[in-house]
Structure 1
């Protein structure tokens, strides 16, 4: 048997986590043709270097996606 009770209704808020202890934003690039990707980096330009290296050995691979990870937080308001 399971018991479930609702004590009170609360509203939640969410926003980007810009606190000093938040995880850093990270960036990566992924080839849309073969699915290979760059390493994650805190420098948004590192992925551009990876693209140039990848397209040099794969000239037909000219479509890429940027993947950005940003920390968010939630709290009861």
Structure 2
């Protein structure tokens, strides 16, 4: 009969700061109608979209910013 040996490893999740990581992105969404901007690499571009959307829809006063930030698990010590 064969005997199996199992090894476990700890992992830590953290923001992916490697050079090859995908960039952060910022999207603005209108809380009134659900319309949203395309993803931007800067939060300032998203607020510009919200201003343009407000000019076209003067009763749409509530917005939310959706930030996409890549994360990565880093392998730790074997147990």
What TM-score, normalized by structure 2, do the two folds share?
0.85
Aligned to 1:32: 31
Structure 1 residues not aligned, in runs of 5+: none
Cα deviations by residue, 1:30-74 (Å, 9 ceiling, x for unpaired): 000100001101121111111111111111100000000011100
Q: Which has the larger radius of gyration?
A: 2
2: distance between equivalents of 1:75 and 1:7? 20
Cα deviations by residue, 1:15-40 (Å, 9 ceiling, x for unpaired): 11111111000001000010000110
* Structure 1 SS opposite 2:72: strand
- Retained in 1: the 8 A contact 2:14–2:74? no
Alpha-carbon distance, 1:11 to partner: 1.2
- Structure 2 residue 51 is matched with structure 1 residue 52: yes
> Across the two proteins, how many residue pairs are aligned to each other?
73
Structure 2 residues not aligned, in runs of 5+: none
Query: Alpha carbon RMSD of aligned pairs, Å?
Result: 1.4
Alpha-carbon distance, 1:6 to partner: 7.3
Which aligned segments of 4 or more residues in structure 1 are displaced greater than 3 angstroms?
none
